[in-house]
Amino acid sequence: MALLAPFRGVHYPPGRSLADLLAPPYDVISDAEHRRLARSHPRNYIHLTLGSSPTAHRNYRQIGARLRTWLKDGVLVRDPELCYYAYCQEFVFAGTVQKFWGLMALLHLEPFGEGKIFPHEAVHAGPVEDRLKIMEGTRANLESIIAMYRSPADPMNLLFESLEVLPPALTAGFPNGGRHRIWKLTAPRTRARIARALGRLPFFIADGHHRYHAAWLYRSRHRRVPEARWMMALVANTEQKGLKILPYHRTIACDTPVSSSLPQSLSRFGRVEKLGRSVPTVSGDPVPRHALGFWAKATGGWLLHLPPPVRGTKPRDALEIARLHELLPQVLNQKAITYTKDPREAAATARTNPHALACFLPALTSEQITRISFGGDTLPQKSTFFIPKPLSGLVLRVM
């Protein structure tokens, strides 16, 4: 069976200004941002993905009724024919404009690791239950998961480049330089071209593990519904300049103040390079491969250069992040770990709290992620953060 298929997407009407209607993905929105978006427009997409207010008990039936009302009233419209949707997101990163390309399609659901779809991280029951209830209430995929493939010579590039000279079906621009464009691909020859390019490739889930698990549970509950065997996905190549894979950094809360002798204690695991009061990643270059960065109030900053892993070490266990969590319990009594994408946040906590150790990690490569995922393993918790994050509300899928 084909792994990808076109679908009749649902979206805001063409020509409508979308800047005040779209929303970030549901899992990166704070309560304050939730309230701001809900107040910004009565038809903002946040009213579907998270409801109208950040309450502990979400009204899933009300969200489903709202979606059906919006369809009936023409707030959202459904395309009359099956489409693939080419997607381009422009965003500013490190002062330069980047372009990220992908294809919105239906992805055939299958158990992880038993076919061509693989996870790269574990899931938690609470978010899965929440997204399952959203599916039950709306009978829709409100947001795409992101499924990545690795193709250094991607035949999809030529298709995407050819679209640049054509007017998009949907577009949204923002004052910060961001722009989102959608092209509808309906021609049989184009659909056949997509099938040839992507039909045999394996995918790993880069974003949306909880939604994938929810869709799998929904499929199990609705076996007589053919549409339940598929879910909406944004399929994209890891080998494009517009994809940024960033690390999550850590702040370790310790039982006692971090000792000034900690770098010496860690020296038995590798070579210590002291940085004075400089903060790894924040004050200079990112942490290099095969190294870990640290900063504490009593020690300042330092790098720990790790020796090569022992031959035969599993790819997952050879990662710097895995080695960090293996060695730290041997020298520290840890109370809690917090995660952040912003190294400055970790550094700020360590500067003001003598019990805190900021840990800075190098970014993983697409080759590392695919080797581990396609090998049937998962990455440690909070290993990667992918940029960009496509906005929600451009296209959804109603079953």
Predicted confidence (pLDDT) per residue in 197-211, tens digit: 998 899 999 998 999
CA distances from 205 to 113, 209, 275, 315 (A): 11, 6, 37, 18
- pLDDT at 132 exceeding the cut of 60: yes
pLDDT, position 65 = 96
Domain ranges, residue 338: 249-360
Amino acid 99: pLDDT: 96
Across the range 184-202, mean pLDDT stands at 93
* Burial degree of 86 (CB within 10 A; 0-12, 13-18, 19+): buried
**Residue 82 and residue 42 share a domain:** yes
Whole-number pLDDT of residue 172: 92
Q: What is the pLDDT of residue 75?
A: 97
Tens digits of residue pLDDT in 62-86: 999 999 999 999 999 999 999 999 9
pLDDT for residue 33? 93
pTM of the predicted structure, to 2 decimals: 0.90
Q: 181 vs 24, 94, 103, 190, CA distance in Å? A: 16, 22, 12, 18
pLDDT for the residue numbered 282: 81
pLDDT level of residue 1 (50, 70, 90 thresholds): low
* Residue 366, domain member (yes or no): no
What was the pLDDT predicted at 94? 86
Q: Is the peptide bond before 288 cis (omega within 30 degrees of 0)?
A: no
Q: How far apart are the first and last CA of the chain?
A: 20
- Same domain? 39 vs 115: yes
Q: Report the number of secondary-structure helices (H) and strands (E) in the chain.
A: 11, 21
Structure tokens at 292: 């870990």
Average pLDDT over residues 233-249: 95
Average pLDDT rounded to a whole number, residues 29-52? 93
Mean pLDDT across 211-219? 95
Residues 197 and 254 in one domain: no
Between these two residues, 301 and 27, which has the higher pLDDT value? 301
Tens-digit pLDDT profile for residues 313-363: 999 999 999 999 999 999 998 899 999 999 999 999 999 999 999 999 999
In a domain, 373, yes or no: no
Report the number of distinct structural domains present in the chain: 2
Main-chain phi, psi angles of 356, to 5 degrees: -105, 140
How far is it, in rounded angstroms, from Cα 299 to Cα 260?
5
My answer on whether 347 and 290 are in the same domain is yes
SS3 132: helix
Same domain as 275, residue 142: no
Q: What are the residues whose beta carbons fall under 8 Å from the beta carbon of 119, sequence distance 6 or more?
A: 112, 113, 204, 205, 209, 212, 373, 378
Local confidence band at 112 (pLDDT 50, 70, 90 cut-offs): confident
The residues near 72 (Cβ < 8 Å, ≥ 6 apart) are none
**Is 75 domain-assigned?**
yes
Strand order through the sheet with 356-360? 271-276, 300-305, 291-296, 356-360, 249-254, 334-340
DSSP string, 222-268: -TT-GGGGEEEEEEEESSSTT-EEEEPEEEEEESSPPPTTHHHHHGG
Identify whether residues 230 and 190 lie together within a single domain: yes
Check whether residue 239 and residue 254 sit in a common domain: no
Give the rounded percent of residues in the chain with a pLDDT score beyond 90: 80
Q: Is residue 183 part of a domain?
A: yes
**Do residues 123 and 194 share a domain?**
yes
Q: What is the mean pLDDT of residues 361-385?
A: 91
Mean pLDDT of 228-243: 96
Burial (Cβ within 10 Å: 0-12, 13-18, ≥19) of residue 335: exposed
Query: What is the rounded distance in angstroms from the CA atom of residue 393 to the CA atom of residue 50?
Result: 12
Segment 160-167 mean pLDDT: 95
Tokens representing 373 are: 């995922």
d(CA 47, CA 50): 6
On the question of pLDDT at 120 being above 90, the answer is no
The arithmetic mean of pLDDT across residues 262-273, rounded, is: 95
Q: What is the average pLDDT score of the chain?
A: 93
Q: What is the pLDDT of residue 176?
A: 78
* 99: its two tokens: 């372009």
Residues 6+ apart with CB under 8 A from 127: 27, 210
Domain membership of residue 132 (yes or no) is yes
Give one word for 231, left, alpha or beta, with left for phi > 0 and alpha for psi -120 to 50.
beta
